[in-house]
Each structure stands twice: as structure tokens, then as C-alpha cells.
Structure 1
Amino acid sequence: MEELAETVNDVFNHLDIKSAIAFGIGVGANILTRFALKYSSKVYGLILINCISRGLGWLEGFTLKWPTQDMPQQTWTDPLLTYLTWYHLGYESQSTHPDLVQALRRHLEENVNAKNVIKLLNSFLKRTPILMERPNESIKNSNPPKSLKCTVVNITGFSAPHKDDVIDTNDKCDPAMSSYVEFADCGGAILEEQPAKTAEAIRLFLQGLGYISHLSIPKYSIANRLTEQAAEYKRRNGPTSRAPRRTSAPFDAADSGLYGNDSHGEDTDDDQNDYGNELQLRVDSFEDRNVKI
């Protein structure tokens, strides 16, 4: 894994990249963490999904004996596909999203080179733990513990197979420079199961670093919906009432009058036109930052 981290540095040097915000999932997150520890000046921020910083434990090694017994054949086998499916999705997502299981297995068999995957898996199975510790201001030491110097966000799902590893990785990061994000109703395939929430978390992370500040919160985002729920709660219960943090009842846009009623065709058409115009402004804003949203 250390050699793969050095390969990332070779890519940076070849492309003359001074610094970057890195994004990694699973094994890629492990490699980028090692790279950021060794070349801290080249990493401005880290977005890590299901990052594993521990070494190979005896229980994991025992579990992998069956799926890796046919790896010398350098071809896809059912035990190997089963392990990779669990690695990406977890048990709960496999039972709730059978379509993802079929799509993943088909993608691996048809589009991915088995020999390359087996080589990468061999490196992952021989990995050493990432040696980093959370900084402790109370301990004055001439040799401070090795820790990430950049801003980090650790993302995982509630039922992800590597949730405990992500928590362990986050515990080793500087609390002032790191964030932990866990999505409910989500397994290991975060990008496939919760793409909207993942995109919003990444957007907020990048805006915290000073990028894409011209992008505002979408009109129908979760944050705006919760704000509208609070406003509707106060409208029904009085302006001095305090809205709960999250209302259990779904927000009824038609009843609130914020977006008009379906029985009034003109109001609905106007809202659709306004929403379409807003989408067009957002598209234009990617090309011209002077566009006001």
C-alpha cells in the first residue's frame, strides 16, 4: 500500500500538480491517507468514504481464506465475487437492494480485469496499519504524533460493513480538522444508495475550504425543506411556538400555500416555470460565476 501511495506522488509530479483535494473510496481512501501523511503539502483536503486505517486482523484474515483460496487462478470465481460484493455493499444492502448486487457482479465480470483486481486485493490483504494518532495538546513532546495536516471528512453508512473502521479512522484525526458523516438507511454503496446526500455533504465540505461558494442551497434541498417545516409549524401553532428539531409529519406544500395548490393550474405552472428558470441559472453559473442565483 505504501508503494501505491508513492505511485500517487509520481502522478502528481508527472502532471505537475502542486496540491489537490483528494477523493477516495475503500482501498483508495487508505492509499490517499498514506499519501497525505507522507506528502502533507500536496493535499489540501481529503474526502474519505469507508476508509480503513487498521491492519489485517486475525478475524478478517480467517474470513478471507475461503474467498481467496482460488486467487492463483487469476480469474473470477464465485467466492471472490461474493467477497467483493460484501466489501462494497454489506449484508443489509444485499438484502434490500438485490438490483445493486446483480449490477455489481455483472460489472465486475464484464468490465473489470480479474488479474488487476487480484493484484490490488493481494496488496490490500498485506496492508500494514496506518500509523497516525490524534494530536494531544496536553502532551508536550519534541516528537509530536504523526497526524493528518489537512481538512478531512469521513463518510460512511449506518449499515456499512466498514463503519467501525471509519469511526476508528476518524478518532485518529484532529477533531478541529475532521468531520464524521454517517447516512441513515444506507449501506456500503454510499454513492449509489444516497447520491443526493453525498453530493450535498461534499458541496458543504468544499465550501468550507473556500471553493464553489457561488453555489447556493438548492430550492428543494433537505435544509430548505426543514426550514419550511419549521415555518409551517409556527404558522399553525403561533409565532411564539418553538418548532421541534425535526417534525415527524411530512411537509404538505399544497396545504401550506408556499407553492400553490394543484387545484389552481396557473399557480402550479408559475412555480414550474420559476423552478425551471432557477435550474437554468444554476447551469449558467457553472460557466459564468457572475450569474446571480
Structure 2
Amino acid sequence: MCMGAMAGAYILTQFAIKFSERVTGLILISPICRAPSWNEWFYNKFMSNLLYYHGISDLLKELLIHRYFSKEVCGNINLEVPESDIVRSCRKSLNERDSINVWRFLQAISRRRDITENLKSLECRTIIFVGDSSPFHNEALHMNANLGKTCSSFVEVHACGSMVNEEQPHAMLIPLDSFLMGYKWYKPYRFMGIPRSPIGPRCIAPELLYPENMGVKLKPIKTRVSPLRPRTQKS
């Protein structure tokens, strides 16, 4: 069972396509599957040059942080909204990174190839999380639409950036619980009306994924339910 975000999701998807017998499921956060758009390529090129000549500067850190997180957690000096703990932690982590390694990463991610056609051969179950403020939102939608015959589930988290697992981890709990129930790795409680896996024989009602039905206070999330296919279901 593999879990990865953005470039990590891209790598794990390729691994699952090549070694299908070794992967039973994918948990992907703001995944990418196409070659960079011109906007992303230019953005990466600008950051690479900035990094090459000036190292990990304050400007570079701001560009990376806004790629990862939404405005809600990045804060706003003019509105006197402080940045969140996760952003401060990310900023500190960037200070500790070797600039040449970050430069090599940006170079590699800018040269990635399109794996859309290969997605049709993906055999394992997949769940995709993405924030509606993520710059990779369209990438996640494109990937979900091209996942061949595999069972998949798509969860969009409102007011969230790319790193859903860091920014709103609680929004992942119920969808992940339902996703893992499809593998029967634990015995569910014995009562009527228990929701099944969203990619199992019967589809979990999308309204069960809203905060008022979760018992916790979360920003709303939503699922996109696709038409049924023969013997499989995509939600």
C-alpha cells in the first residue's frame, strides 16, 4: 500500500504500473501524470535559476510554500493573519535543505513525461485527494478521468492546497477508512447501514463525507461520482 504527494505520487504510480503484483493500493495526494504545462515549466525554470544563483532565498521559499499550501494557512501580513505552524515548519525545513539537491529535483520534475496512456493498465485500487486551491487540481482531475478499469475514488477538499495530508489531515480520515474497508483488513462493527468502501460493490453516499455527518468540525469535502462501469465502479 503506497502513499505519495505530487512528485511522489507520480513516482509511485509509475511503480504500480510497472510492478502491479507488488502494489495492492495507491493513496495519491495532488498527483501529477502529464508533462509540465508551459506555465509550470516557466515557473520551475524561474525557481531553478533563482536557486542556482542565489541558493535557498526567501523568495524561493515563498514560491515553494505557495505551491504546497493554500492562502488560508500561509497567512497575510496586510490583514494581520499569522501563518500556520505547518508553514513555519516547512520554511524551517527548507532552510535545512541542500540547495543543489532542490535544484536537481526541480530539473527532474520539469523533464517528466506524460504517463496518461499507461494509467489504463493500472490494476490496483486508487484514492485521490486534492485541495481545490492546489495548482495541481486539474492534473488530479485528468488522472482520475483516465484511470482505466481500476476502481478509484476522488476526494476534493475545499479551502486547501496541495498538501492535504499536512493542511487538513482530518479531512482524509473518513474517506481513507471507507477505502481501506474494501480490503477487509479489519472486522467492521455489526450494525445495519454501515457504509461500505466507495470503490466496493456498493457506493458510499457522497453526503456521508460531509462534516455534519462525520461528527467532527472540518472544512467541507466533496466527492465526484462517475457513471457505473461493468463490474467496476468509479466514484
Residue equivalent to 2:219: none
After TM superposition, the score normalised by the length of structure 1 is 0.58
Which amino acid in structure 2 is aligned with residue 48 of structure 1?
Answer: L
Structure 1 pair 205–227 and aligned structure 2 pair: CA distance change class (3 A): closer
The percentage of counterpart residues that share the same residue type is 30
Pick closer, same or farther for the CA change 1:224–1:81 going to 2, 3 Å: closer
Indicate which of 20, 25, 30 corresponds to 2:10.
30
What displacement does 1:41 show?
A: 1.1
Q: Is the 8 A contact 2:174 2:214 kept in 1?
A: no
2:19 paired residue number:
39
Partners of 1:71 and 1:106 in 2: CA distance:
17
Aligned to 1:104: 90
How do 1:173-184 and structure 2 match up within 5 A? Answer: 173-174=147-148, 177-184=151-158
SS, match of residue 46 in structure 2:
coil
Bigger RCO (CA 8 Å, 6+ sep): 2
CA contact 2:174–2:209 (8 Å) conserved in 1: no
**Radius of gyration: which is bigger?**
1
How big is the shift at 1:150?
A: 0.7
Offset of 1:224 from its aligned partner? 9.8
Tell me if the contact between 2:61 and 2:91 (Cα under 8 Å) persists in the aligned partners. Answer: yes
Residue by residue over 1:263-290, the C-alpha shift from the partner in whole angstroms, topping out at 9 and shown as x without a partner, is xxxxxxxxxxxxxxxxxxxxxxxxxxxx
Contact 2:70 2:160 (C-alpha < 8 Å) held by counterparts: no
Distance 2:181 2:43 in 1: 41
Q: CA deviation at 1:91?
A: 4.6
- Does the CA contact (< 8 Å) of 1:92 and 1:159 recur in 2? no
| Structure 2 residue aligned with 1:199 | 173
Shift of the alpha carbon at 1:173?
Answer: 0.5
Match for 2:123 among 122, 129, 149? 149
The answer to whether structure 1 residue 121 and structure 2 residue 106 are counterparts is yes
Q: Structure 2-normalised TM-score?
A: 0.70
In the alignment of these two chains, the number of paired residues is 193
Equivalent residue, structure 1, for 2:227? none
Aligned-residue CA RMSD (Å): 3.0
